[in-house]
Copies of this chain bind each other. A is one copy, B any other.
């Protein structure tokens, strides 16, 4: 289990997520925040799809990356900001159904670098299927003008 350094971590994470205007554009919302873990839900809809009618891999990445990034931020000290250094995603199955859920969790939290992983599930009625797995490296930013969360 991870211990947050900032007791106010949940409010901070939700506030920062609220500033990600892209989430409103694609129709995503943050459903759960715990120390070192977050969940983001996305309704499957035509305006976020690729040519075969599945959610575009980049949009699947958008929610998985934010799920990882906010899992990381939840463990960072107050006043710090989070940036993604890199990520890798494997698309395991077409992202189709009613909605997607990206669950991110911290694998290792360092002072400077945090590694997190996310799993994205497609939910179709009662059925759940893993459609993607991501591993991301996040950077803790401290004392940078304009980069706080």
Give the one of A20, A22, A56, A58 with max B CB within 10 A: A58
Partner of A49, one of B22, B52, B90, B113: B22
- State whether the Cβ of A81 lies closer than 8 Å to any Cβ in chain B: yes
Find out whether the CB atom of B88 lies under 8 angstroms from the CB atom of A135.
yes
Contacts of A46 in B (CB 8 A): 21
- State whether the Cβ of A74 lies closer than 8 Å to any Cβ in chain B: no
Interface residue SS majority, chain A: mixed
20 A-B residue pairings within 8 Å (CB atoms):
A16-B51, A20-B51, A20-B56, A21-B47, A21-B48, A21-B49, A22-B48, A51-B149, A52-B83, A57-B65, A58-B58, A58-B61, A61-B61, A85-B113, A86-B88, A88-B88, A88-B89, A88-B135, A108-B130, A112-B112
